[in-house]
A and B are shown apart, each in its own frame.
Chain A
Amino acid sequence: GAVVSQHPSRVICKSGTSVKIECRSLDFQATTMFWYRQFPKQSLMLMATSNEGSKATYEQGVEKDKFLINHASLTLSTLTVTSAHPEDSSFYICSANPTGRYEQYFGPGTRLTVT
């Protein structure tokens, strides 16, 4: 149980285009999902907290107009990187915690490369 999927696993896009990443909780409902960014050999950096039915909460320094988050249902959150630039290239990971529980379960990650 507690499986989280992400799609796509890898994406290459051209500078200036937008990319959407999906995060799904497959066998549980998640009122809250989280989006992280991870640079090579570093820990996870929380970008935003995605709340079902309401606006996402962004961490300091993360541009909300750049990284659009939509939590449309209790099992799906999406992250859209708008007008992507090479510096947005990174490993993006989502997580979710089953409602009422503290532990977070992570998706397999999405490797974004912007050329």
Chain B
Amino acid sequence: GQQLNQSPQSMFIQEGEDVSMNCTSSSIFNTWLWYKQDPGEGPVLLIALYKAGELTSNGRLTAQFGITRKDSFLNISASIPSDVGIYFCAGFDMEYGNKLVFGAGTILRVKS
């Protein structure tokens, strides 16, 4: 089935540093979503992107919907310990029904 290539697989950064992760696909998506999952919890929606080229912020988080509709990135500025978790990108397109296609996740660890 469809897959998104998400990178990096994991990151171990110093508190205060900025973080960047991205997802790419061989197919076009009409919607890109970014989620964060804490251990033992369900994913929480961080940002939803609906238009090619769209740049959206949510606090220290910024995400962009690539102009080709085949990629998206998520930036976290000035990381803090509570940013630790797994970040997933997800793409949506009616061609695949109403199902989300998920990336493999980026594990973020923050050293304080």
Where the two chains meet, the residues of A that have a C-beta atom closer than 8 Å to any C-beta of B are 2, 4, 6, 32, 34, 41-44, 46, 49, 91, 93, 95, 97, 102-109, 111
Contact = CB atoms under 8 A, between A and B. Distances in A.
Classify the interface of chain A: helix, strand, loop or mixed: strand
Pairs A-B, 5 closest by C-beta atoms:
A106-B42, A109-B42, A102-B31, A103-B48, A106-B43
Contacts, number: 56
Contacts of A97: 98
A105 B92 contact: no
Given A34-B99, A43-B102, A49-B98, A105 B45 contact: yes
A108 B41 contact: yes
Contacts of A44: 43, 88, 102
A91 B43 CA distance: 12
B45 A43 contact: no
Give the bracket for the number of chain B residues in contact with chain A: 20 to 34
Given A34-B99, A49-B98, A97-B98, A43 B105 contact: yes
Interface of B: 30-31, 33, 35, 40-45, 48, 50, 88, 90, 92, 97-100, 102-105, 107
Most-contacted residue by chain B among A32, A44, A97, A108 (CB, 10 A): A44
Contacts of B98: 32, 49, 97, 102
A103 B97 contact: no
B39 to A, nearest CB: 10
A79 B99 CA distance: 18
Contacts of A2: 45
27 contacts: A2-B45, A4-B42, A32-B98, A34-B99, A41-B107, A42-B104, A43-B104, A43-B105, A46-B99, A46-B100, A49-B97, A93-B43, A95-B42, A102-B30, A102-B33, A104-B33, A104-B45, A104-B100, A106-B35, A106-B42, A106-B44, A108-B41, A108-B42, A109-B40, A109-B41, A109-B42, A111-B40
